[in-house]
Structure 1
Amino acid sequence: MAGPITVVLADDHPLYLEGIAGALERRPDVDVVGRAEDGAEALRLVREQDPDVAVVDVRLPLMTGLDVLHAVRRDGLRTRVVLLTGESESATVYEAVQAGVDGYLSKAADRREIGDAIVTVHRGGTVLGPEAQSALTQEVRGRVQDDAPVLSARERQVLRLIAEGLSGPAIARELQIGAATVKTHTQNVYDKLGVSERAAAVAVAMRRRLLE
């Protein structure tokens, strides 16, 4: 039968660290093998103890929780990493997910939730708390908008009419502009969307939510 899950804890608030350690030590399936109050010590303990899971505060002195995560991944260590945070900043959550974080929870989560998250990530799962999920969604949406090509108001009108199936001459009549001008706007739209024909332009525009 497999033994308890070995865990290293890191938080720069001694009372919080003591509280979470005490709660986890009462679980028969978890064994706290190290505690740290800064990121450098946390990484040293991870390398020394080779724990199954490291539960690390995002904001630590010397090395942040993200720094520890990046180092664990860079060095190919087997330890799975759960980050805890008082504030789920969207950019930080996004970076952590990109770096391969196994869990991301609010420090407001109760001790049982944190213990259950440790079990889940040890089994190969990923745990994102509600705050982290919301922050990640916000960041992804913002990045999609930032990546969207900048179309002029007229180019957007032309794109919308293309999507409605109007021909070049019909678009010219609808907008009361010359056919040559429509062709110019259409080509500009194609260039900005990285396409060469109408159907592809509409598909890309829908995917990037340019027609909403």
Structure 2
Amino acid sequence: MATGAKVSVVVADDHPIFLEGVLGALSRRDDLDVLAQAGDGGEALRLVRELRPAVAMLDLRLPVMTGLDVLHAIRRDDLPTRVLILSGEQASAAVYEAVQAGVDGYLTKEADRRTIGDAIVTVARGGTVLAPEAQAALTMEVRGRVQDDAPVLSPREREVLRMIADGLSGPAIAAQLQIGTATVKTHTQNVYDKLGVSERAAAVAVAMRRKLLE
């Protein structure tokens, strides 16, 4: 990025009032150029592909595609856009998953507007930004995973995990195992809790890394 050039950014958040406030703050900065806004992850990814901003600032819990899904797509497609997560999510597993996926910055929504703007510029210049809360959460998660890197799954939980990895839906798993969908949900949540994740893709990724599907 040339010295003095404005940093182009696409912003995505599904909370209109919060989004309006952030956009207003960013628009008052001479070093930022907000190209577009999105209310869901699918639209955010479309805008990133079309506009190629320097930075995409994403909420983690976006509808259609989560911020993490968008991040994975940007990395997979080798797009030049760097990613800054701005989220109310402070769970250690969420921060860990974002960092593991290659996020360039992670701020919580408690950050003030100047901090957010400065973080966008830092990320655009190749730097990395982690809010103090995110750093603490990441440290906690790493320590926990080092201490317990081999979660003990029951035989049934392993069956459910394998079927999740195969792409089966909850009802399909229930039908194949001849159990209720509520029971499948319970097993699935137990798997998520033991792996320290909150969604299917992350569960499969962690399971593959820890060789739980072999």
- Please, what TM-score do these two structures have when normalized by structure 1? 0.68
Amino acid corresponding to residue 90 of structure 2 in structure 1: S
How many aligned positions are there? 150
Query: Is this contact kept in 1: 2:60–2:89, CA < 8 A?
Result: no
* SS in structure 2 of the partner of residue 142 of structure 1: helix
* SS in structure 1 of the partner of residue 148 of structure 2: helix
CA–CA distance in structure 1, aligned partners of residues 132 and 66 of structure 2: 22
CA–CA distance in structure 2, aligned partners of residues 21 and 147 of structure 1: 41
Structure 1: gaps of 5 or more residues: 149-212
CA–CA distance in structure 2, aligned partners of residues 125 and 135 of structure 1: 20
Q: Which residue of structure 2 lines up, in the alignment, with residue 121 of structure 1?
A: 123
Larger Rg: 1
Q: Which residue of structure 2 lines up, in the alignment, with residue 202 of structure 1?
A: none
Q: Which residue of structure 1 lines up, in the alignment, with residue 37 of structure 2?
A: 35
* SS in structure 2 of the partner of residue 8 of structure 1: strand
- The one of 78, 85, 88 equivalent to 2:87 is 85
- The one of 60, 68, 74 equivalent to 1:72 is 74
Structure 2: gaps of 5 or more residues: 151-214
Q: CA deviation at 1:85?
A: 1.2
- Equivalent residues in 2 for 1:46-195 (5 A)? 46-147=48-149
* SS in structure 2 of the partner of residue 18 of structure 1: helix
* SS in structure 2 of the partner of residue 91 of structure 1: helix
Q: CA deviation at 1:16?
A: 0.7
1:152-171 C-alpha deviation (Å, 9 max, x unpaired): xxxxxxxxxxxxxxxxxxxx
User: Which consecutive segments of 4 or more residues in structure 1 shift more than 2 A?
Assistant: none
Amino acid corresponding to residue 59 of structure 1 in structure 2: R
Larger RCO of the pair (alpha carbons < 8 Å, separation 6+): 2
- Please, what TM-score do these two structures have when normalized by structure 2? 0.68
Give me the CA root mean square deviation. 1.6
Query: Is this contact kept in 1: 2:11–2:36, CA < 8 A?
Result: yes
Q: CA deviation at 1:2?
A: 4.6
Q: Percent identity?
A: 72
CA–CA distance in structure 2, aligned partners of residues 70 and 89 of structure 1: 19
